[in-house]
Amino acid sequence: MECVFGIDIGGTNIKIGKFHGDEMAESRQVKTDKGAAGANIIADVARAVREMQGDDVIAGIGVGVPGPVMDGVVLGAQNLGWKELNVIKEFEKYFPGVVIRVLNDANAAAVGEWAYGGGAGFSSFIFMTLGTGIGGGLIINNELVEGASGSTGEIGHIRVGYHNDRLCTCGLYDCIEQYASATGIVITANRLRVGRETILNEVEVTSKNVFDYAQLGDEVCLEVVNNMVEKLASALAAITNTVNPEAIVLGGGVSKAGQFLLDRVEKRFRELAFFSVRDTKFALAKMGNAAGMYGCAYEVRKKICRLRSTADR
């Protein structure tokens, strides 16, 4: 039977899914070996894929990587130790003749959500994943937009402060990632709890605890949430004013705060966005951390279809 693989290469784990058509037949997780500047990663993936292949014929492999991607070349993925790398060429060494599609991991998750999850039914939406960092993706007219230098999803690096207060991993200051990601929420919480009466001085300061105790009425936790919501709603209003999509879909670990977060972001967004985009819909992602695998598999199937239809002509 013909299969494709959808592979999500992250800084901690690599998720590998084998697909028959739309259906995931099997999945596996491999630890990311960041030693030797990530030189072993692709060999590790190739070994796992061969083990999972069984009697199937591999028609394509879709790969999501944490960095900007142009024509199969990742321009740099600090989380993996990779500098510029032609990922298509690297995979072709192990899988000659197999169609390879490489895309940014958050872009892949956007496709997964569009095809099967929280973005289903929208022909255009902005996807934003709020995890340790912030990533994103943009679907317009049912197509992923990747940008002139493969950077359409880099919405985590929108500047939302003006005092060079928080240095970002990208080298710039005050990117929204430093305020609205799980990491950013912890920074804010650690600042605001000093000298105050709050549960945050008794429990571990995590994004989850901040949201849990905010819902129970802890005032400092609520302040942290409001602070995060302000930055997030401002950035979303700016993006929406530019792109004017049907919807905004929020995913990632922080979005597990669910409706409590969504209601607040939505309310503040409607106050900050231009009048004609105020009705933009909001939704939560549904695919969890499988979105990337599904999106990679979807995109490589699309590439295979295009190549085959060109060959038929």
Which residues in this chain contact Zn ion in the complex, by CB under 5 A? 157, 168, 170, 172, 175
Contacts of 93 (CB under 8 A, 6+ apart): none
49 vs 126, beta carbon nearer Zn ion: 126
170 vs 243, beta carbon nearer Zn ion: 170
Contacts of 132 (CB under 8 A, 6+ apart): 181, 182, 183, 253
157 vs 268, beta carbon nearer Zn ion: 157
Rg (CA), the chain: 20
175 vs 232, beta carbon nearer Zn ion: 175
| Min dist. Cβ of residue 68 to Zn ion (A) | 13
Give dist(CA 173, CA 160) in Å, integer: 9
| Min dist. Cβ of residue 190 to Zn ion (A) | 20
| Min dist. Cβ of residue 177 to Zn ion (A) | 5
- Which residue is it, tokens 């590790």? 44
| Min dist. Cβ of residue 36 to Zn ion (A) | 26
| Min dist. Cβ of residue 167 to Zn ion (A) | 9
| Min dist. Cβ of residue 135 to Zn ion (A) | 11
Return the number of other C-beta atoms located less than 10 Å from residue 195's C-beta: 7
145 vs 172, beta carbon nearer Zn ion: 172
170 vs 284, beta carbon nearer Zn ion: 170
The answer to whether 158 and 126 have CB atoms below 8 angstroms apart is: no
Please give the structure tokens belonging to residue 198.
Answer: 């709050």
